[in-house]
Amino acid sequence: MKLLNIILPIFGLIGIGMLGGAGYSYNNTNQFIDQSIKTDGIVVDLVRSHSIRSRPTVSGSSSRKLRRGYSPVVEFTTESGDTVEFVSSTSSNPPDFTEGELVEVFYDPKSPRKAKINSFLTLWAGTII
């Protein structure tokens, strides 16, 4: 019973912290969308990205697994006529996009390289997680 009295408040604080983080992420994404300009872009390349994931094993050591994903490289033209290219912050395997695919892009007019593809996962994955 004493252990339960210790664990419940800890998990409650963790839950409140995660809820606050989700609210913060949601607010940031909404502000980004409100302040951004929407335009069309084209996927010009797919960049292979790597991440290493460590997992503990039964013996106490850890195993490392290489994960590969593909991030789209998107090119678009701003309202002022500048051509901008950016690599999406999200990757997937298999790739979500193909070279030559037309995509909608949100970009910050003050900093066009801070652009995002208008897709549910790109915009909202952080909030959902």
Q: Could you list the pLDDT tens digit for every one of the 129 residues in the chain?
A: 688 888 999 999 999 999 999 999 999 999 999 999 999 999 999 999 866 665 666 666 666 666 789 999 999 999 999 999 999 988 899 999 999 999 999 999 999 999 999 999 899 988 888
The pair of three-digit structure tokens given for residue 100, joined into one six-digit string: 């030559």
pLDDT score recorded for residue 57: 61
Cβ(103)–Cβ(113) under 8 Å?
Answer: no
pLDDT score recorded for residue 63: 64
pLDDT score recorded for residue 66: 67
Nearest-angstrom CA–CA distance, 117 and 86: 10
